[in-house]
């Protein structure tokens, strides 16, 4: 009887070891999914913030010419409206095509959680208002 008890104890220990192995396999995958989801959400948020900023700068140029009358004023206004991260004023391009005042920006995105990725996307936004 003592032999059977030891065999059962060994089988129980094997189950605990298999749980540890399963956890070691699943944990990196779950962390990658979690952190990747956070990075994707941050990318979407920055893209949305850039679009909003460009939209507000173009609107300011049309609605408030006293505040946003020159290219430098529009660029300064746009740089002050960016929420959560900073964009230099020189990254905002202001032109006056046939559609009205066009404000555009193109900013390289840098991954915060996965800085090893070299192929980071470039975020760009363009709005034209008259």
Give 18-63 pLDDT, tens digit per residue. 777 788 889 999 998 998 899 889 989 999 999 999 999 999 999 9
Residue indicated by tokens 């540890």: 20
pLDDT confidence bin for 112, thresholds 50/70/90: confident
According to DSSP, the residues that pair with 127 across neighbouring strands are: 103
pTM: 0.76
CB contact set of 50 (below 8 Å; sequence gap of 6+): 82, 87, 105, 107, 123, 124, 125
Measured CA distances, 12 to 3, 8, 16, 18, 30 (Å)? 14, 6, 7, 10, 26
């Amino acid at each position: 009887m003592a032999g059977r008890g030891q065999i059962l104890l060994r089988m129980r220990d094997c189950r605990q070891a298999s749980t540890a192995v399963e956890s070691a396999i699943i944990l990196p995958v779950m962390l990658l999914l979690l952190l990747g989801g956070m990075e994707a959400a941050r990318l979407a948020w920055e893209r949305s913030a850039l679009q909003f900023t460009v939209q507000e700068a173009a609107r300011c140029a049309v609605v408030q010419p006293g505040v946003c009358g020159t290219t430098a004023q529009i660029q300064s206004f746009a740089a002050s409206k960016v929420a959560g991260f900073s964009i230099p004023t020189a990254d905002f391009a202001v032109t006056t095509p046939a559609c009205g005042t066009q404000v555009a920006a193109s900013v390289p995105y840098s991954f915060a959680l996965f800085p090893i990725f070299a192929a980071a996307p470039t975020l760009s936004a363009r709005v034209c208002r008259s």
